[in-house]
Amino acid sequence: MNRYTRAFAGPLGAIALIVVLMSLAMIVAGTSPIDGFTALFVGALGGRNEIGETLVATTALLFPALGICLAFRAGLFNIGAEGQLLVGALCAGALGAALTVPGPLGIFLMLVAGAIGGGMWGAIAGWMKARFGANEIIATLMLNFVAAAFALELVSGPLRGPLAAGAETAWLEPKYWLPALLPGTRLSIALLFALALAVLLQWVLARTVFGYDLRASGEAPEAARRSGINLGRITWLALTLSGAIAGVGGATIVSGELHRFNTQLSPGYGFTAIAVALVGDLQPLWICLAAFGFGILESGGLAMQASAQVPKDAIHVIEGLIIFVLAARRYVATRVEGTLP
């Protein structure tokens, strides 16, 4: 039976599963799958605006997915990408609202702020795991809620933009907006940054000593420890970098997409990114492809909802099923909770 699941659970199997399940959802909603899928693809790729939106979603998913991938390869399960993304976005938005430097420098500083914010958020969990053996799954998830609470508090009060209608930071001056990649759409050059990051991550994992140490820690922690690798340091670094990457992603959403920060900026990207990372088989370059696929689902889903009556929440159920099925691949060498790494 295991051979069956292994073939089934590969990325191709995941795609097949998506198609089957979505067809079911469409039938339940009273639409034929052909109409449904047509609506989906037209909604995602049918025109310049649509492609732009799909790629915006792709970018927003790609950053946290790369971060999650990095953590996973180190044997760590980061389900806090949503919170890390939020904190990074908040830092970028708050800084951007207060800056007066030239445009490019401002954008750069915002991205750095995003990395620092998200990195800090990841570091908390990383430190807790390295120092206390605290379960990083619970820690990162708790931090999601803490981030949401703090962020809401800050943008309702001290960080609220003076002219803002709701709880959000001030609109960024246009010079601080990431340049558009596809003029007329919301797509910024952040996509290029994300792709470059994927290539960089692939290089780090496959070719560098740090990547070697990281992978060893994830696949065989005891052998890694005995070979002189400092597991605590790797743990802490992996979660911090993971958070930083998600944080940069949040910053690009603020600078390139929304041009301000509010707490609604992510419709669960941090969680969908888990599915993206797994479908991409934890390889940065494949993850780019997976992010594009999920980007189609996210942006086409709205169109599908409008014309084919299939609620976009169906997509989240499908994402969950994909993750569940891919669990058969056994990505993370299970480590016992509560003990020091």
Partner 1 sequence: MTELIVTLIALTLVKATPVIYAALGGVISERSGVINIGLEGMMAAGAFFAVVASFATHSPVLGLVAGIGTGAAFGYLLAFAATRFKVDQIVAGTGINLICAGGAAYGLVLLFNQPGASVQVASLGDKYWVLVVAAFVLAAALQWILYRTPWGLRIRASGENPSAVVSAGLDPLRLRTYAVIMSGALAGLGGAFLSIGELNLYSDGMTAGRGFIALAAVIFGRWHPLGATVACVVFGFFEALQYVLQGQIAWLPANAMQALPYIAALVALAGVTGRVRAPAADGVPF
Partner 2 sequence: MDASLSLRGIRKTFPGILAVDGVDLDLYPGEIHALVGENGAGKSTLSAIAFGEMRPDEGTVTARGTVGLVHQHFELIGRLRVWQNVLLGREPHRGWRIDEGAARERVLAIAQRNGLEIDPNAFVDSLPIGVQQRVELLRELDRDPTVLLLDEPTAALAPAEIESFFATVVQLAARGTAIMIVTHKLQEVIAYAKRVTVMRHGKVVERVLTAQTSIDAIARAMVGGAVPAVAARAPTELTPCLHVKDLCAGSGATQLRDFFLDVRGGEIVGIAGVEGNGQSTLADALAGLIEYTGIIERSGTMSSIPQDRQREGLVMNWSLVENALLGRQHRKAARRGPELDRMRARADTQAIRERFDVRAANLDVAVRTLSGGNQQKLVVGRALIDTPAFVLAYNPTRGVDVGAAALVQSRLMEARNSGIAVLLISFELDEILTLADHVIVMYRGAVLGSFDRDAFDRAAIGRLMAGSS
CB 121 within 8 A of CB 80: yes
Query: Is residue 223 a contact residue for partner 2 (CB under 8 A)?
Result: yes
Give the integer Cα–Cα distance in Å for 52 and 55: 5
Of positions 15, 137, 189, 289, contacts partner 1 by CB under 8 A: 137
Binding marks (x or -) toward partner 1, 230..269, rule CB under 8 A?
A: ----------------------------------------
**Euclidean distance between the first and final Cα of the chain, in Å?**
33
188 beta partners:
180
| C-alpha of 237 from chain center | 18
Of positions 3, 5, 82, 288, contacts partner 1 by CB under 8 A: 5
Nearer to partner 1, 107 or 130 (CB): 130
* Binders of partner 1 in range 9-68 (CB under 8 A): 28
Q: Amino acid identity of 120?
A: M
Give the integer Cα–Cα distance in Å for 196 and 289: 14
Nearer to partner 1, 51 or 323 (CB): 323
CB of 47 to partner 1, least distance (A): 27
DSSP code of 169?
A: P
- Tracing tokens 């993206």 back to the chain, one arrives at 276
Secondary structure (3-state) at 157: coil
| Residues with Cβ within 8 Å of residue 91, at least 6 apart in sequence | 113, 114, 116, 117, 247, 251
CB of 53 to partner 1, least distance (A): 21
Query: Is residue 3 a contact residue for partner 2 (CB under 8 A)?
Result: no
Contact window for partner 2 (CB under 8 A) among 16-24, 101-109, 118-126, 218-226:
218-226
* Binders of partner 2 in range 172-211 (CB under 8 A): 207-210
Contact window for partner 1 (CB under 8 A) among 152-160, 180-188, 192-200, 253-261:
152-160
- Tracing tokens 């060498």 back to the chain, one arrives at 333
Query: Is residue 220 a contact residue for partner 2 (CB under 8 A)?
Result: yes
Chain contacts with partner 2 (rule: CB under 8 A): 207-210, 212-213, 216, 219-220, 222-228
